A and B are shown apart, each in its own frame.
Chain A
Amino acid sequence: MFHPPVGAPAVERAEDMNSRDQIAEVCWCFQPTDCCRVGGRLNRSSSLILFWRVPLHCTAMSPSIPLQEMIRAIRSARTQCEERGVIQRECAAIRAQFRQADNGARSHNLAKLLYVHMLGYPAHFGQMECVRMIASPRYSEKRVGYLGAMMLLDEKQDASLLITNSIKNDLSHSNQYVQSLALCTLACMGSAEMCRDLAPEIDRLLRASNSYIKKKAALCAVHIVRKVHELGELFAPAARSLLTEKNHGVLHGAVVLITELCERNPEALERFRKTVPDLVQIMKGLVISGYSPEHDVAGISDPFLQVRILRLLRILGRHSETASDAMNDLLAQVATNTDSTKTVGNAVLYETVLTVLDIKSESGLRVLAVNILGRFLLNNDRNIRYIAMMSLQKIVGTDHNAVQRHRGTIVDCLKDHDASVKRRALELSLALVSASNIRSMMKELLLFLSSCPPELRAQTASGIFNAAERYAPSQRWHIDTILHVLTTAGGDVRDETVPNLIQLITNTSELHCYTVHKLYRALLTDISQQPLVQVACWCIGEYGDLLLKGECQETEPAQVTEDDVLDSLETVLQSHMSAPATRGFALTATMKLSTRITDNVDRIRSIVSIYGSCIDVELQQRAVEYNALFKKYDHMRAAVLERMPVIEKNSLGQTNGESAVEAIKAVQPATVKQGEPPLPLQPANQVCDLLDLLGGSEEPLQPSSVQSGTASGLPINNSSTAGGDLLDLLGGFEPTPAAPAPAVTVYEKDGVNLTLLCEKHSDSGLTVTLTASNSNDSDISSFTLQAAVPKSVQLHMKAPSGDFLPARGAAKVTQMVVLNNPNKVNLKMRVRISYTSQGSACQDTVQIDSFPGL
């Protein structure tokens, strides 16, 4: 009698069998006799197929359940733990089964193992079983064996080599389905060695077999060529002849293979160019005539093949006029005739557009292609819009004007809800910014910035900055734009924005008043955006006097008192929202104001002394230094805290202005520690100037104090590089210029001698020191020098050391002139000398054409 053993689902559950014509979900086992157990399942026509028969004594020790039963058991496990238990039990059973001799259940055990593997559990003990199954003569076992090989083995495993022989044998099997299994597996996980071994076999199959095998052999050859490039040569002839086949699968495989060969080997590319007419012919057949129902997708005949042919044409026509000419008509035809209402049509159009834009097509065709992209931009389907923008991005460099025509649509896409579309629209918009559309584009971009997703903000901000820098129509617009970005997305800007903005502001001297007003108002509104607060503090510190003056041309002047200004800075200092660097800015700004305001200096003094015991070491250090500046070096305070000079464009850390102030600041801690004023070795001329004021000596600076000094003084956030530069300047004892060239006499007349000394301190800047002496017997007074330089050169004259030249060269007068020559023009300087000697005024001019040491 048939009765199912314990644990197996009952036979009578007929209602579980689906009456649909598909494989039943239930597998069951039953015992027809007492000496063996048979299992089976229903096939599609609901008749029983027996698939395994196992002697009882074998199953007694490890009862294993059929595949679908196991799947059901795993799915019904309520917890991860339960699932693991079921799987462990099954794996043990499977392992046991594998160890046994040939039994009919092998393929199903392996299938079970593969299922377990797909869930993520380890299954390497099945690898050898795969090898054995592949070697089995039975198709059912081969099928699962090869599947297992593709899932469990890859070229890195040693076991994969063991199947090479089986594959080789199966490639020549009489049954095409066995051959196909071998081909498929080789194409999936064949290693380079296996490929080399079996390549001749594949070539044979490419030539002499039926379509079913040919198409598989073609793609297998593609894999081989990808693994072992040199073997491309082997397949070239066969590939060429396959183009004459009628079978679409074979054609497709041939096109893919030729594409692969051409991409790898320029010689092959040359040879295959001759196939362009054949490809055009095939394409024409697909587009115009051939309606074959089995290849039709929504009215397009075999879109897969069409797209591959278009891609091959692209590669063949890319650098060849003749090839491009041959395909012109066809491309125009495809572009105009393809139905674009469904995705599939658009896929073909898309590939056509890519081809047209990449080959040497005539201009009419190019315009047609860009117009298609423009149409895509207006399509309702998001995917199409995304595709269009990606393609436009690729050609925005070469066909800029054509893309500009669609700027409006692209900018509209910034408002799309989809994140991918937004990203593409942003990149494209930034690429389309030009001098003529900068104002309107910036409006859109700033609007976008206020509502864009967080992951795009940094990119947007930096894009806006770049565009502003390149195309700013006016300085004020530039500053306004940067301020707008800082207020909207201050947290996402890059660190170098702050020094860049400071530099920009310093260089725009006519807008200082306007800028400081705007920043002050911004500070009153919101102190959470750190970069903005830092710039605002810096400005207030520098230009606070302009703020207090109460008059401004560009904007409404603020009626503020000194207390208000100090209040705002103190708010920043005390706020928990302020980063340590920001507080540093605020403290320095407060200090600077001590020379720009008149009434509340005491308040500043008290602030500074309070912070002398702040927990933050950085702030404490600054406060202590400023305190010292108040107490011991009050006479230096005005000079130290004077207005910053114009900062050079590139050399952020090496600017002389900053280094001068920092050098002095570096002096203080040493002073406090040792009570003796060592002064920095001066490579920088302005330091020298200040030292003149101090009547300085020239002892070198202690390196230890340099570390702290430079760190404290810099108004830059993460100033690793800038600080490093300064350390080089001050701590390394290397004067930035080389040993100065000897002084050259440029003027000698009437006993007045003028010598020139040049020192280059940066790429375009140099310092000229003019030294005058008087060899007459009478003194010279009111000695002044004036200098003029070519238009593009910037000139800054320092205060002369004096204007009295005593007789007989008893003393000299020196004057330093700082020059900046960014355009590297030929440097000339005209110097006018005027003085009074023996009661009469004298004047003379000298032109200096050569600067030694330059």
Chain B
Amino acid sequence: MRFLLLFSRQGKMRLQKWFMPLTEREKKKVMRDMMMLVLARPPRSSNFLQWRDLKIVYKRYASLYFCAALEEHDNELLALEVLHRYVELLDKYFGNVCELDIIFNFEKAYFILDEFLMGGEVLETSKIAVGVSMEEADTLQEQTMEEYMSKPAY
């Protein structure tokens, strides 16, 4: 996978993960192109597009579009499964996830993504394992904050 974007129907970017080095300008251009291409698609079309030399796979979940760019030899049908798995992970974590959850807790969305994908490849194929890692990491985070808080101020 080359990049993964989440954006709303109104064209607001909610999450962007880049697996290839690009400058800020290039990233902006890519995001604009993606939004234009995907938002223009009629409702019952196929989920695959060709853009430059990449295969674009996108899926709409409620008000959010999940858009991934694949290389020539990647399996598009599996990419649909990858997107679906990510949504399931978010759903499990936030409990009935909606767009607001991803807006207000964007850093969590990134952390979950980092437990599921790495370098554009699937990292963990078990739903449970990702959930467990997130919980443990969150606990660790809270513990370190508590530790800090429990120190006397002055």
Contacts and interface: CB of A to CB of B under 8 A. Distances in A.
B148 A104 contact: yes
Contacts of B141: 139-140, 143
Interface string B106-133: 1100110010001101111111110001
Contacts of B129: 249, 294
Contact of B103 (A71, A294, A351): A71
Contact of B76 (A143, A222, A383): A383
A140 B144 contact: yes
Contacts of B146: 49
A249 B124 contact: yes
B45 A51 contact: no
A351 B78 contact: yes
Interface string B52-76: 0000000000000000000001011
Nearest to B28: A120
Interface string A11-54: 00000000011110100000000001000000100000111010
Contacts of B101: 22
Contacts of A50: 149
Interface in B16-65: 16, 18-19, 21-23, 28, 44-50
Contacts of A351: 75, 78
Given A177-B136, A304-B82, 18 more contacts: A22-B95, A49-B142, A114-B107, A140-B144, A143-B141, A154-B18, A177-B133, A188-B118, A188-B119, A215-B124, A219-B123, A248-B124, A297-B85, A311-B73, A311-B75, A350-B75, A383-B47, A418-B46
B138 to A, nearest CB: 8
Contacts of A252: 122-125
A25 B95 contact: no
Nearest to A144: B107
25 contacts: A22-B101, A49-B146, A53-B153, A118-B106, A138-B145, A175-B140, A177-B136, A177-B137, A177-B140, A184-B114, A212-B133, A219-B121, A226-B119, A249-B126, A252-B125, A297-B85, A304-B81, A311-B73, A344-B77, A344-B81, A347-B78, A351-B78, A383-B76, A386-B46, A420-B46
Given A49-B145, A139-B140, A177-B140, A216 B81 contact: no
Given A111-B107, A187-B118, A343 B81 contact: yes
A625 interface: no
Interface of B: 12-16, 18-19, 21-23, 28, 44-50, 73, 75-78, 80-82, 85, 94-95, 100-101, 103-107, 110-111, 114, 118-119, 121-129, 133, 136-137, 140-146, 148-149, 153-154
B78 A419 contact: no
A184 B85 CA distance: 20
A572 interface: no
Contact of B77 (A114, A119, A308, A347): A347
Contacts of B149: 49-51, 53, 104
A168 interface: no
Contacts, number: 176
Contacts of B22: 154
Kindly list the 8 A-B residue pairs having the minimum CB-CB distance in the complex, ordered from nearest.
Answer: A347-B77, A382-B46, A187-B119, A219-B118, A294-B126, A347-B78, A223-B119, A139-B144
A147 B101 CA distance: 18
B75 A147 contact: no
Interface in A261-320: 294-295, 297, 302-305, 307-308, 311
B141 to A, nearest CB: 5
Nearest to B96: A20
B29 to A, nearest CB: 12
Contact of A248 (B46, B106, B126, B153): B126
A76 B44 CA distance: 33
A473 B34 CA distance: 46
Nearest to A146: B114
Contacts of A385: 46
Contacts of A219: 118-119, 121, 123
A130 to B, nearest CB: 13
A791 interface: no
A729 interface: no
Contacts of B124: 215, 248-249, 252
Contacts of B100: 25
Chain A contact-residue range equals: 35 or more
A384 B15 CA distance: 28
A656 B37 CA distance: 51
A246 interface: no
B146 to A, nearest CB: 7
Interface string A351-363: 1000000000000
A198 B141 CA distance: 26
Nearest to A255: B121
Contact of B104 (A25, A183, A184, A386): A25
A222 B121 contact: yes
Nearest to A308: B122
B8 to A, nearest CB: 12
A302 B85 CA distance: 12
Nearest to B13: A118
Given A71-B104, A303-B78, A351-B78, A215 B123 contact: yes
A350 B119 contact: no
A740 interface: no
B118 A216 contact: yes
Contacts of A138: 144-145, 148
Which of B45, B73, B103, B118 has most A Cβ within 10 Å?
Answer: B118
A417 interface: yes
Contacts of B23: 156
A346 interface: yes
A764 B127 CA distance: 72
Interface in A197-223: 212, 215-216, 219-220, 222-223
A786 to B, nearest CB: 62
Given A139-B140, A147-B107, A387 B81 contact: no
B149 to A, nearest CB: 5
A355 to B, nearest CB: 11
A383 B58 CA distance: 11
A795 to B, nearest CB: 52
Contact of B122 (A304, A346, A419): A304
Contacts of B114: 184
A147 B111 contact: yes
B137 A143 contact: yes
Contacts of B12: 119
A544 interface: no
Interface string A376-389: 00000011111100
Contacts of A419: 45
Which of B16, B100, B121, B137 has most A Cβ within 10 Å?
Answer: B121
A305 B95 CA distance: 27
A583 B114 CA distance: 65
Contacts of B140: 139, 175, 177
A252 B122 CA distance: 8
Interface string A137-151: 011100110010010
Nearest to A253: B123
Which of A184, A304, A383 has most B Cβ within 10 Å?
Answer: A304
B39 to A, nearest CB: 15
A54 to B, nearest CB: 9
Interface string A240-251: 000000001100
B125 A295 contact: yes
A138 B46 CA distance: 47
A115 interface: yes
A68 interface: yes
A47 to B, nearest CB: 11
A307 B82 CA distance: 12
A71 to B, nearest CB: 6
Contact of A295 (B19, B75, B126, B136): B126
Nearest to A222: B119
A361 B12 CA distance: 48
A55 interface: yes
A189 interface: yes
A343 B125 contact: no
